[in-house]
Structure formats: structure tokens, C-alpha cells
Amino acid sequence: MELIEICRILLLVLLLGCVIGVNLARSLLQSVLVFMAYSSVMCVLWILMESPDLAITEAAVGAGVSGMLFLLTLKKLREIDRKGGEKS
């Protein structure tokens, strides 16, 4: 078995770990961070499969834009929770 095959298998196991981790995370922030890690691992896998165009797209959209939008949404939700808690 070649080194590249071992790397692919390890990355696929890590990818499955990220999938399970997103579902088992206790907080939304942990879920977002694991999702961003999933996108980063998927980016590396696309590179290993010799698809640089998909790797760049995955990095930009998956880990970059989507991750930032999720984090901004989380920030807004926490602000809403604080405002709602003050009125009680």
C-alpha cells in the first residue's frame, strides 16, 4: 500500500469523524467549527483526487463563506437571547 493511499484512508476516517462530530456537538459553535474542519478536510481530499477547481471552491464556499455566515448568525442569535433575557 502506497503512502498516498494511507493518507487518503486517514483523511476519509477524519471526514467521517467530522460528520459524527457535527451531530454530537453540544453547542452550535462546536458544530460550526467541526463543519469548517469538515470542509477543510474535504478540500485536501479534492486536491489528492487531482481536482484543484473543486478544492478551491470547497475552501472558499465551504470553509470560508458558509463558516463565516454561520458564525455571524450565531452572534446574532446570542444578541437576540441577551435582549430577550433583559426584558424578563
Q: How far is CA 19 from CA 10, 16, 33, 36, in A?
A: 14, 5, 12, 11
| pLDDT tens per residue across all 88 residues of the chain | 899 899 999 999 999 999 999 999 999 999 999 999 999 999 999 999 999 999 999 999 988 999 999 999 999 999 988 888 665 4
50 DSSP 8-state letter: T
For position 84, what pLDDT does the model report? 81
The pTM is what?
0.82
Residue spans of beta strands (DSSP E) within the chain:
none
In 3D, which of 84, 35, 26 has the Cα closest to residue 61? 35
Joined grid coordinates for residue 8 = 487518503
